[in-house]
Amino acid sequence: MKYALFLIPLLFLTSCNSNKTFDIIGVGERIHHDDFEYSVSNYMVTRFLKNGTDTLKAKGMFYLVTFKVENRAMRVGHNWDNNIGYIVDGSGGKYENLPQVQKFFEKSHPFGYNEKYNTPAGTSDSTYLAFDLPFTVTKPYFMVKGETLMGDMFDRGKFRRMMIRLF
């Protein structure tokens, strides 16, 4: 009972985060989420993708982001999918991953595309995430999604306020 009295205010504080400041980090730096760390090790911007004679043209510009998950847990696997990340821009636009572009890129640059991943404890996985951003986008930032886990309580889910600079 006394633990519940401690946990209820703690949960309230973590859910009522009125501080909307964001922490901007660079490519290669890590976002900490409970026992997991996320990073972007590289990204590529291109107008089109080629696979033999097939060409896939972007409506604007493709951003292909090399995304990595490191599982620092001792026993628990980390389940995630290709919707784990998104891009926001300086104007408030939000851009989701495009699996059809990932699949096209996989044909010419095999990287082990999966719809869902389970990264076992003590290991890491990586994939390419693909976005089609308009030409007018300025200052794109990569961000991650996820549920609040026990290890996120003390930093109030800071992983949701971390932005990786893609410019």
> What residue ranges do the domains of the chain occupy?
2-165
Q: What is the Cα–Cα distance from 9 to 21, expressed in whole angstroms?
A: 22
pLDDT at 154: 61
CATH of 2-165, one of 3.30.470.20, 3.30.365.10, 2.60.40.1240, 3.30.479.30: 2.60.40.1240
What pLDDT is recorded for position 18?
44
Residues 6+ apart with CB under 8 A from 1: none
pLDDT in tens, the chain (167 residues): 555 444 445 554 444 444 568 999 999 999 988 889 999 999 999 999 999 999 999 999 999 999 999 999 999 999 999 999 999 998 889 999 999 999 999 999 999 999 999 999 999 999 999 999 999 998 999 999 976 656 555 655 677 888 999 99
Q: What is residue 68's three-state secondary structure?
A: strand
pLDDT for the residue numbered 12: 46
Tokens of 153: 């309580």
The predicted pLDDT at position 5 comes to 47
Measure Cα distances from 139 to 58, 90, 121, 134 in Å: 19, 5, 35, 12
Query: Residue 77: its pLDDT value, please?
Result: 95
